[in-house]
């Protein structure tokens, strides 16, 4: 089972490979997926963190290390390693997720579908909140991690991702269906988001603090119950403004304060993250073993 030091070693090894930085094409969202795929051969390293404090419970921090790779132009594959720290309970590794996204239509349309399938092997103490389904809510976050860890979550998750770009705006909707492979019923959820860069034209000079490097938007996500208890009753929902700032070297910082809008929701969830994309990672790996001429 990986430890935190293993995470750091993995990141250092990946960053030490010869490759150039690239700008991640993804939007500023934490939860909502757009139809944008990872560029073929590129590897994105990212962390997604969420923190909050339930009314009855200790402050928690959920953290996911994300490795996203563009296998093909139409296929993106991704691994998440999830960890968590709750006040007084130490640091725990909670499991992994393996997701794949497939874009069936070759051309860009008004609405662009992407099919998403994920296997996750995590436990009930996971606090990354990468999606909200069923009746997930503040009650789950108040449970002590030691107790919550006993709940194994080996789940398959499918999403229909719909995305559009219109006059500088990015609009995306996700419909989520999740099934615990052991027993639980089908669980449903949704996420949607809209964002836009602060400037649509690029400046001629290389810059960090220019409007084109900032994206702002808002996302909304929540649970929709199960197949025999479908609906909004007792579910949690969040509205979260998002801001992303990309440096000239391609490093992107994101932050998103999320506000629960129903009584079942956690009152406030703060998300933050950083991502860095290595361009043509696969070529860099080949060159490492075969010499620089391998790319020619």
Footprint of other proteins (CB under 8 A): 20, 22-23, 25-27, 34, 36-37, 39-42, 70, 72-74, 103, 106-108, 165, 167-168, 170, 197, 200-206, 212, 250, 279-280, 283, 295-296
Closer CB to other proteins, residue 73 or residue 146?
73
CB of 1 to other proteins, least distance (A): 35
Closer CB to other proteins, residue 61 or residue 198?
198
Euclidean distance between CA atoms 17 and 283, whole angstroms: 10
Closer CB to other proteins, residue 207 or residue 232?
207
CB of 240 to other proteins, least distance (A): 20
Closer CB to other proteins, residue 39 or residue 155?
39
CB of 25 to other proteins, least distance (A): 5
Closer CB to other proteins, residue 76 or residue 265?
76
CB of 293 to other proteins, least distance (A): 12
CB of 199 to other proteins, least distance (A): 8
């Amino acid at each position: 089972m990986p430890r935190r030091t293993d995470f750091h070693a993995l990141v250092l090894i990946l960053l030490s490979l010869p490759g150039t930085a690239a700008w991640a094409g993804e939007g500023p969202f934490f939860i909502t997926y757009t139809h944008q795929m990872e560029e073929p051969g590129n590897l994105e390293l990212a962390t997604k963190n969420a923190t909050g404090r339930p009314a009855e419970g200790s402050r928690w921090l959920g953290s996911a290390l994300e490795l996203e790779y563009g296998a093909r132009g139409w296929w993106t594959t991704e691994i998440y390693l999830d960890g968590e720290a709750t006040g007084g309970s130490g640091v725990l590794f909670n499991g992994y997720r393996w997701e794949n996204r497939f874009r069936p239509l070759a051309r860009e349309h008004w609405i662009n579908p992407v099919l998403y399938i994920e296997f996750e092997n995590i436990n009930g103490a996971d606090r990354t909140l990468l999606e909200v389904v069923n009746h997930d809510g503040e009650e789950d976050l108040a449970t002590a991690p030691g107790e919550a860890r006993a709940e194994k979550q080996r789940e398959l998750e499918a999403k229909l991702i719909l995305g559009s770009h219109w006059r500088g705006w990015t609009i995306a909707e996700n419909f989520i269906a999740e099934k615990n492979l052991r027993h639980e019923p089908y669980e449903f959820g949704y996420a949607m988001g809209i964002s836009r860069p602060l400037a649509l034209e690029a400046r001629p000079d290389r810059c960090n603090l220019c409007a084109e490097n900032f994206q702002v938007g808002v996302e909304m996500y929540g649970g929709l119950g199960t197949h025999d208890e479908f609906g909004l009753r007792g579910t949690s929902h969040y509205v979260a403004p998002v801001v992303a700032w990309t440096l000239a070297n391609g490093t992107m910082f994101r932050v998103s304060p999320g506000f629960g809008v129903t009584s079942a929701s956690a009152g406030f969830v703060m998300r933050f993250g950083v991502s860095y994309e290595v361009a043509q990672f696969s070529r860099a790996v080949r060159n490492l073993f075969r010499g620089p001429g391998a790319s020619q």
